[in-house]
Amino acid sequence: MSLSDATLTPPAARGPTPAQWAGGAILLLVLGFAWGAPLLVPADPLRQDLMRGLAGPDAAAPLGYDHLGRSLMARLAAALRLSLSIAGVAVLLAGVLGTGLGVLAAWRGGWVDRALVLLADSVLALPGLLMVLIIGVIISNTPLAFAIGLTLVLWIEFFRLTRATAARLLAAPGVQASRLLGFGPGYVFRRHLWPDLAPMLLTVAAFGAATAIMLIAALGFVSVGIRAPRPELGQMMVELLPYYREAPMALFLPVIAIFLTILALNLLAQGRRP
């Protein structure tokens, strides 16, 4: 669940690949469902109607009901919103932190560089799950804790990539010239680094988001993640698992939701292959 499998070859040609188009389309679909469902069919994801436990679809709940008679569509949408928001915030924070430190390391070099690399390597040695769990204890199990824990896990990939790329780019004659002419770091970053970094950062971000979503669901599945009754994909699966004979569709929904989300992000992360 790290970037180990990313083939970070710089894109030979600009523009998205077919895989990225497909990933983007699926992701839009998922996002559209997560934020659009409550607009189409307003329903409270916590609202129970015990008489409708595991009942089939009707107008108020187009995807049917769970074991407590809560609308599966509302719950699924809420769970997706939660996971995607946490993942989004974590990736954003990690991106800013990782890219910032990466540029800093490449810019300053010397002991700053060595210290940051040592720190990143050491944090990488601690399993991400452990980090998220411990942060979860330190600032109790809120979505914020998850976002912070995940940020601490995800920044490293941004850092490593940015540092390596920036070190190469900063040595190029054009950049040397800009620095000699007295242009500040901001200008150099925008003018010289960003155009090359951006497509790679997108890949890292997509992988990071996929990691985050898997981790949140995994923790929910082992019942140490987001607490009930707030809907969460992994936890929904655990809750619906005992009913897999009675209501296979109910279990299938969160399964397909997480599958599609991660598939979309993985496809999005696939740069152009040489």
Partner 1 sequence: MIWRALGYRAAQAGVVAFLVGVLTFLMMQALPGDMAFRIAAGRYGYDMVTADAAAAVRAELGLDRPAWAAFMVWLGDLGRLDLGVSVISGRPVWDEIRHQMGASLHLAGAALLLSALIGPPLGILAGLRAGGWLDRGLLVLSSGLRAVPQFLMGLILIVLVSIQLSWLPAAGHGRAEHIILPALTLALGLAAVSARMARDAMAGVAARPFYAFGRWKGLSEGQMLRRHGLRNIGVAMVTFLSLQFVMLVEGVVVVESIFGWPGIGHALVHAIFGRDVPMVQGTALLLGLGFVALNALTDLLTRLIDPREIRA
Partner 2 sequence: MRPFLTLTLATLFASPALATEGVLDVVAPFEIKGADPSTSGNIMIKMELAETLVNADPDGRLTSGLATEWQVADDGLSWLFRLRPGVTFHDGTPLTAQAVADALAHARAKPGLLDTAPITAIAPEGEDLRITLSQPFAPLPAFLSEYRALIYAPAAYDAQGNATQVIGTGPYRLTRMQEPLRLEAERFDGYWGQPARIAQVTYQAVGRAETRALLAESGDADYVFNLDPASVARLSGVAGVEVLSVPVPRSLLVKVNAGHPALSDPQARRALSLAIDRQGLAQAILRYPTGADQLFPPSVADWHVEGLEPLAHDPEAARAILADLGWQPGPDGILTRDGERFALTLTTYPDRPELPLSAAVIQQMLAQIGVEVTIDSTNSSEIPVRHADGTLDLALLARNFALVPDPIGTILTDYAPGGDWGAMGWQNDAFTALIRDLAAGQGGQDQRDQAMAMLQADLPVIPVAWYQQTAAVSTGVSGAVIDPFERTIGLSQMDWVQP
In terms of CB distance, is 50 or 222 closer to partner 1? 222
Rule CB under 8 A: which of 1-30 touch partner 1?
1-2, 4-5, 7
For residues 199 and 271, the answer to whether their CB atoms sit within 8 Å is yes
The single residue among 246, 248, 255, 273 that binds partner 2, judged by CB under 8 A, is: 246
| Least spacing, CB of residue 114 vs partner 1, in Å | 9
Task: Select from 94-102, 109-117, 197-205, 243-251 the region that touches partner 2 (CB under 8 A).
Answer: 243-251
Q: How far is the CB of 187 from partner 1 (least distance, A)?
A: 28
Report CA-CA distances (Å) from 157 to 48, 149, 150, 204, 221: 42, 15, 12, 7, 26
Interface with partner 1 (CB under 8 A), residue from 185, 241, 242, 246: 241
In which region does residue 140 sit, left (phi positive, over 0), alpha (psi from -120 to 50) or beta (all else)?
A: left
Return the H-helix or E-strand segment holding 122: helix 110-125
Among positions 139-178, residues that touch partner 1 (CB under 8 A) are 139-140
CA 145/CA 24 separation, integer angstroms: 28
Binding mask 243-272 for partner 1 (x = CB under 8 A): -x----------x--xxx-xx--xx-----
* CB neighbour list of residue 99: distance below 8 Å, 6 or more residues apart: 158, 159, 162, 197, 201
DSSP 66: -
Residue 200 interacting with partner 1 (CB under 8 A): no
Q: What is the largest CA-CA distance in the chain?
A: 75
Which residues bind to partner 1, rule: CB under 8 A? Answer: 1-2, 4-5, 7, 118-119, 121-131, 133-134, 137-140, 214-215, 217-218, 221-222, 224, 234, 237, 241, 244, 255, 258-260, 262-263, 266-267, 273-274
